[in-house]
Structure formats: structure tokens, C-alpha cells
């Protein structure tokens, strides 16, 4: 009897997925999820948010993930009131509750809907939850790729204070920042950081897209002010949400644009197709009957692989971007 038990335990441990960093080729792995923030009435989540949470948990259990990056619109439709707001429980903790996600940190930025409420409360929630990390409106993340000497910088932006707020159900463009000094401070911080960044991969993340063929289209303010910086400083990719679908675009300077805004809603609109330069769009998925999806990123010694995964579990599209040349 005792011997049987030992055997069973041994077999069970062989079946368990091994930790990502030791079992697989060296890489830093993360999920990019946007526009996932549920609804303000019971049950405070949507079928798509639930389906995404389930598929993210499955992906993390099989493939591993070092973190989850939120591209904003964390709480529909008007953010949260304070750091005790029940929505943190109802729309975040109770939805992303799978044991596979228990110890996976989130790095968070705010979207236009979050800015209709109290973003300071979302920042303050970092002290309440052990996995919610939102240290300030804009901030820098730095990672080592496990078992390599490669490193990754991610600059988390607040594109709403940078460009202005907008009502996304009226498909407005953000026109101007409410606080010009804050917008300028953020822009000069970003320029300084990008100019100094020596990492093997540099990513910039924000809520509004630079390029999008969908309902909101390209964000003029970012095309004008951010896009030249991405090219000038050899940024690997820009990660965003806002439009409720999945897109991948690549410009002639080699910057990749990962739009992941399918966490809660799906919108098939392609009304700004002609506002994006010819040849940039590589992938678009906005099927209305889809349960949404997210992007899964693996940053290895040579390249950054991006896979778009539908909440049903289907791999929709896969691409890769090269590591920056070393000086
Ligand atoms: C925003 O949230 C913070 C943290 O809970 C709280 O201290 C502050 O009073 C809130 N602001 C407003 C205007 O409610
Ligand atoms: C990083 O590692 C590679 C191979 O593992 C090695 O060739 C290179 O010299 C190392 N670079 C630095 C800066 O340590």
C-alpha cells in the first residue's frame, strides 16, 4: 500500500507542468490584455471577460507567465471610487481567481474609462492586493530574461493625461490634455528614458493606439508626438488597447504595434482602414460572435514572439520582432 502511494505521487509530479523558466528555452513571458473591465452592474463581469480569464489561466498553466500587462479600461464604465471599491473584488479578484494566476503579478495602466473615476484609487490598490502593481500614472519596468544576460525595459504611459480624454462610445479623438504641464512632464520623462535605454528590448505601452484600423482609428496626438520617438529610439513594439479587437501592425522603421483590446467587448468595425498607411496592417480580428482574446509575448535571446490567442483557445496569429542590435 505504502509503495503504491509513493508511485502515485511520483507519477503525479511527473505530470505537473514544470516552472516555465527551467523547463523551456530562456524567455520572459507575459500576457497583454486590454479593455477587460466588466460592467458596473451585477454580475460585474461579462462572458468575454470570464472566457479570457479562463483561457489566460490555461495559457499560464501550460506556457508560464512572468506577469500580465493591462493596457487599461480596467473598470467599466467610470472606473472606481476609492481603493475599497467593491469592483476590485467583483471585476478583478473574483474573475482572475484561477490558482494558476494566484502568484502572477499584474502591471497596470489606466484607460479613458478609468480616468472617468478615481485613478489614484487604482494606484492605491497596489498596497491592498499583492498582485496588482500600479505605482504611478507612468512608470518604467525593467526585467532580465531568465538565464541570459538580456534585458527588457517597458515604459508604461498614461496616454489619457498625455492626449486628453475621449468618450469611446461616441468615437471621439482625444483633443487636448487637461493638464498641459503634466503632459509635458510625461513626454520629457519618456524622451529622456528612451534616449538612455540600453536594454535588448524596449517596449512602450499605453491605452490609446498609435495605429488602428477600427472604430477609433489612429490617435492623432500619438501619431504626431509618440510615433517619431518610437522610430528614433529603436523601440521594439508599442502595446495598447482602446479599440475592442485584436490587431498587429508593423511600420517601415520596424516598430511593431500590438493592439489588444478584446478583454470584454468585440467590435468588428474597420472604419479607419484608410487612415492607416498601406501595408502596415498584418492582422486584425474583431468577429462579433467571438469571446475576445489577448496577446501572449515570449521575449527570448534573439527575438520577441507575439501570439494572439482567442478566448476559445485558438491561436489566431503569430509573429516576431528582432532584438535590438547591441552597441
Ligand atoms: C480617490 O481614492 C483615494 C484612495 O482610496 C482616496 O484617498 C481619495 O479620497 C479618492 N478621491 C476621491 C475624489 O474620492
Ligand atoms: C552575453 O552572453 C553572450 C552569450 O551567452 C556572450 O557572448 C556575451 O558576451 C554576453 N554579453 C555581455 C554583455 O555580458
Cβ-based neighbour number of residue 54 at 10 Å: 16
Residue 121 CA to ligand 1 center (angstroms) comes to 6
Distance in angstroms (rounded) separating the CA atoms of residues 2 and 66: 38
Q: Which fold does the domain 3-322 belong to in CATH?
A: Purple Acid Phosphatase; chain A, domain 2 (3.60.21)
18-45: per-residue pLDDT in tens? 444 445 679 999 999 999 999 999 999 9
203-220: per-residue pLDDT in tens? 999 999 999 999 999 999
DSSP 8-class letter at 234: T
Distance in angstroms (rounded) separating the CA atoms of residues 73 and 69: 12
pLDDT at 169: 59
Residue by residue, DSSP assigns 259-297 as: EE--SS------TTGGGS-TT-EEEEE--TTS--EEEEE
Distance in angstroms (rounded) separating the CA atoms of residues 259 and 295: 8
Residue 305 CA to ligand 1 center (angstroms) comes to 39
Closest CA to 187 of 138, 232, 140, 236: 138
Backbone angles phi, psi at 130, to 5 degrees: -80, -10
Domain boundaries defined on the chain: 3-322
Q: Is 121 helix (H, G, I), strand (E, B) or coil?
A: helix
Query: Residue 148 CA: which ligand is closest?
Result: 2
Q: Is 143 helix (H, G, I), strand (E, B) or coil?
A: strand
76-134: per-residue pLDDT in tens? 999 999 999 999 999 999 999 999 999 999 999 999 999 999 999 999 999 999 999 99
Query: Residue 128 CA: which ligand is closest?
Result: 1
Cβ-based neighbour number of residue 36 at 10 Å: 34
The grid coordinates of residue 144 equal 532580465
pTM of the predicted protein model? 0.91
- Residues having CB closer than 6 A to ligand 1 are 81-83, 118, 120-121, 124
Residue 127 CA to ligand 2 center (angstroms) comes to 38
Q: Mark out the alpha helices in the chain (DSSP H runs).
A: 2-15, 20-23, 47-63, 87, 119-124, 159-163, 180-196, 220-225, 227-232
* Per-residue pLDDT at 12 exceeds 80: no
Q: What is the dihedral of CA 272, 276, 282, 284, to 10 degrees?
A: -10
Residue 325 CA to ligand 2 center (angstroms) comes to 13
Distance in angstroms (rounded) separating the CA atoms of residues 69 and 30: 7
Q: Which residue has the higher pLDDT, 225 or 7?
A: 225
Residue 124 Cα: closest atom of ligand 1: 4
Amino acid at each position: 500500500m505504502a509503495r503504491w502511494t509513493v508511485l502515485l505521487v511520483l507519477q503525479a509530479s511527473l505530470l505537473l507542468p514544470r516552472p516555465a523558466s527551467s523547463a523551456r528555452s530562456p524567455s520572459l513571458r507575459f500576457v497583454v490584455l486590454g479593455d477587460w473591465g466588466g460592467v458596473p452592474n451585477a454580475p460585474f463581469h461579462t462572458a468575454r471577460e470570464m472566457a479570457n480569464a479562463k483561457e489566460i489561466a490555461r495559457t499560464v498553466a501550460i506556457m508560464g507567465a512572468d506577469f500580465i500587462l493591462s493596457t487599461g479600461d480596467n473598470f467599466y464604465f467610470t472606473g472606481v471610487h476609492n481603493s475599497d471599491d467593491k469592483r476590485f473584488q467583483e471585476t478583478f479578484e473574483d474573475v482572475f481567481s484561477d490558482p494558476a494566476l494566484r502568484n502572477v503579478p499584474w502591471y497596470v495602466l489606466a484607460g479613458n474609462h478609468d480616468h472617468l473615476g478615481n485613478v489614484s484609487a487604482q494606484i492605491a490598490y497596489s498596497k491592498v492586493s499583492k498582485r496588482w502593481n500600479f505605482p504611478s500614472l507612468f512608470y518604467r519596468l525593467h526585467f532580465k530574461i531568465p538565464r541570459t544576460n538580456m534585458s527588457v525595459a517597458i515604459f508604461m504611459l498614461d496616454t489619457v493625461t498625455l492626449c486628453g480624454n475621449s468618450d469611446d462610445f461616441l468615437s471621439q479623438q482625444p483633443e487636448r490634455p487637461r493638464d498641459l504641464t503634466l503632459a509635458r512632464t510625461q513626454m520629457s520623462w519618456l524622451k529622456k528614458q528612451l534616449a538612455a535605454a540600453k536594454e535588448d528590448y524596449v517596449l512602450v505601452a499605453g491605452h490609446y493606439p498609435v495605429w488602428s484600423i477600427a472604430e477609433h482609428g489612429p490617435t492623432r496626438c500619438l501619431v504626431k508626438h509618440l510615433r517619431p520617438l518610437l522610430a528614433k529610439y529603436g523601440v521594439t513594439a508599442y502595446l495598447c488597447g482602446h479599440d475592442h479587437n485584436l490587431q498587429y501592425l508593423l511600420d517601415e522603421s520596424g516598430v511593431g504595434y500590438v493592439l489588444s483590446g478584446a478583454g470584454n467587448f468585440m467590435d468588428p468595425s474597420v472604419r479607419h482602414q484608410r487612415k492607416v498607411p498601406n501595408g502596415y496592417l498584418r492582422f486584425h480580428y474583431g468577429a462579433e460572435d467571438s469571446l475576445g482574446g489577448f496577446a501572449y509575448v515570449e521575449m527570448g535571446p534573439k527575438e520577441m514572439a507575439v501570439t494572439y490567442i482567442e478566448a476559445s483557445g485558438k491561436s489566431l496569429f503569430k509573429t516576431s520582432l528582432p532584438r535590438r542590435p547591441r552597441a
